[in-house]
């Protein structure tokens, strides 16, 4: 089944009137609002400036395909986080 959601971003910015209309493989969870569907172009800016964002951000991959080529599995992310924490603990 193909994902037929389109990006919830606006061409003119948050107060715009024209939808971007790119396919949206990501969904961002919001507090006290509906979830937001985003394309790769708008995922970063919305995470940086979006309203009603949960923290840490909750993002779901909606595409029926595999994860994006440069994404990490939860296990890989945990290993990288642990390695980072070990690397900075030596400096304190």
How far are the Cα atoms of 40, 54, 67, 84, 91 from residue 35, in angstroms, in the given order? 16, 11, 20, 31, 40
Rounded to two decimals, the pTM is 0.59
The model's pLDDT over 22-59, given as tens digits with 9 standing for 90+, comes to 888 888 888 778 888 888 888 888 888 877 777 788 88
Confidence of residue 1 (pLDDT cuts 50, 70, 90): very low
Task: Report the DSSP pairing between strands 26-28 and 59-61.
Answer: antiparallel
The model's pLDDT over 53-76, given as tens digits with 9 standing for 90+, comes to 777 888 887 866 666 666 777 788
- Higher pLDDT among residues 80 and 62, named by residue: 80
């Amino acid at each position: 089944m193909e994902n037929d959601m389109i990006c919830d971003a606006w061409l003119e910015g948050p107060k715009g009137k024209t939808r971007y209309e790119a396919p949206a493989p990501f969904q961002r969870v919001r507090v006290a609002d509906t979830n937001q569907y985003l394309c790769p172009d708008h995922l970063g800016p919305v995470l940086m400036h979006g309203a009603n964002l949960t923290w840490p951000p909750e993002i779901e991959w909606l595409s029926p395909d595999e994860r994006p080529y440069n994404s990490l599995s939860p296990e890989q992310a945990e290993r990288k986080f642990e390695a980072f924490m070990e690397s900075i603990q030596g400096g304190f």
